Structure 1
């Protein structure tokens, strides 16, 4: 069991409650730890903090949840930083997808012109985030969950000394979903996925057959 401090940048996001529930279920590995939520929206931030505090109370686990709109305060003394933010909100996503589609191009937040629009905003925030990390928690690892994850991670890796790992649940979720659609037993499928986030190829095996 390790007692650590983790910062969640974008802690008022729609993903945050589910992510925190996962940490709480893993309390045996995170007992005594603190998760510092940080977001620009104080109302959403407080809602997530209250939900997390209630989950901790119900589960009876030894974890602490704090919340602040001050990014450096959240980052101070952290061992790990999880980033899951959406610059511009869903209003910007609508424009990312609508504008390319109006010109007959791909409109998606991780690919094509829409992905490029999203990446410009996401990298601008990532640049400020890693600068703050260099100042207050230079040894912490950044676990990036902000799209386009591959582009954001590459920008950080190329231009910052901060250690970065980018995450996407696709390799875990998609092969099982495809297996079920094909009438296969998802528990017997072994899949290998190659490529970039949301633009990848998957090879799967089930009982010796390849797909």
Structure 2
């Protein structure tokens, strides 16, 4: 099989290739085509992949290209992890919001809207080229904001584009581990949107064990999310929230905690140093990447943990792997017909009552050779459903804004978001992002 990786010069591409190296079942990916707009970044990641492959029998062949059509032609799977505007754009996503006293975060709130507005036109172009050159390919989307981008790409690719995220599986692993259970032997009742969901139940041997976890002081504090949100609040909710809900439930604390460099600014410095180091010492590419990865993983969502004294990330979390494992499992389930249950970003239909049929939601799904089938979910209480409905309306407004180039709709997307407090501020957000991000200004020139 041939896998095209869009954003192939990105820092996390070695995680995907490492997962492919460990996969020995048949059929397997035999060729990986890395596409990126930067030939220099492709060269750097190429050094890392060659060193990763050393000592492996029959590693997947790696080719690189800066031509999108070349990458997509004859692909069986397409993994999309592009970043329109690069990390410089991400830092602007964060800083423009912070300067207006709002949350500055990559996927949540104003930053996520700005990221989506400039990314959707590019993602639609990718979808159109996939449809033309590899119509039988499955597209696995990790481009953020993943739910919004997946929903936009569905307009061209329908069910052949599936969004993935590693946040839900991480939450489920931590909850199961706190109870001494094998995460592979529990069935999660998880429902929401990307970076906006709740674990409402955890069934083991026919019994929901989540209420017992919520009631157990000793076990509960083993779960990072419970330490971040506080045991009292998760018990009030009756569920374990996705870690990104910290930005909704503790907005003021989240904004106050970003007192130094933002996450984007920190990553920009780290990655600039990594790419420069590999250019200077290509023989040490893998060692440089491993060192930078440890630093990156250890500081993930550090502002939330620091503000709540949740402590450092558990070593088991860092070692368990994330989205690369989900991507490989999804490819294996489809290509080999190996039945699996996974939490994915897919079309709602009637799975989540109260949300539009065409909305992309993040829920458990059955996956196999025929594709993906979402499971129906229990009705949501108002305290969850209302937030989902509001944020989904924002996402769909942002999609229409990006497709039409309507500044009025872009302002509406900002203004309707629960983390933006006025229409006047929404106008200032759009003006600020246009001034600092050329890729967004190109979509909304006036």
1:103-118 matched pairs, under 5 angstroms? 103-118=100-115
> Which structure has the highest helix share of the two?
2
Structure 1: runs of 5+ lacking an equivalent = none
State the partner residue of 2:43: 46
> Which structure has the highest strand share of the two?
1
Q: Where has structure 1 moved over 6 Å in runs of 4 or more?
A: none
State the TM-score, normalized to the length of structure 1: 0.87
Aligned mates of 2:36, 2:75 — CA distance in 1: 16
Matched, 1:187 2:188: no
Aligned mates of 1:208, 1:184 — CA distance in 2: 8
Alignment: residue pair count: 205
Aligned mates of 1:147, 1:10 — CA distance in 2: 12
Larger Rg: 2
State the partner residue of 2:8: 11
State the TM-score, normalized to the length of structure 2: 0.43
Aligned mates of 1:102, 1:18 — CA distance in 2: 34
1:141-171 CA deviation, whole Å, 9 max, x = no partner?
11100100000011111x2035200000111
Aligned mates of 2:16, 2:61 — CA distance in 1: 15
1:18-66 CA deviation, whole Å, 9 max, x = no partner?
1110111113345461110011111111122232233233211242111
Matched, 1:208 2:209: yes
SS of 2:157's partner is coil
Contact 1:96 1:107 in 2 (8 A): yes
Moved more, 28-37 or 163-172: 28-37
- CA RMSD after TM alignment: 2.2
State the partner residue of 1:161: 157
Aligned mates of 2:26, 2:104 — CA distance in 1: 40
1:56 to 53, 57, 62: 53
SS of 2:189's partner is strand
CA deviation after TM superposition for structure 1 residue 91, in Å: 1.1
Contact 1:177 1:186 in 2 (8 A): no
Aligned mates of 2:92, 2:175 — CA distance in 1: 30
Aligned mates of 2:6, 2:107 — CA distance in 1: 20
Aligned mates of 1:32, 1:208 — CA distance in 2: 38
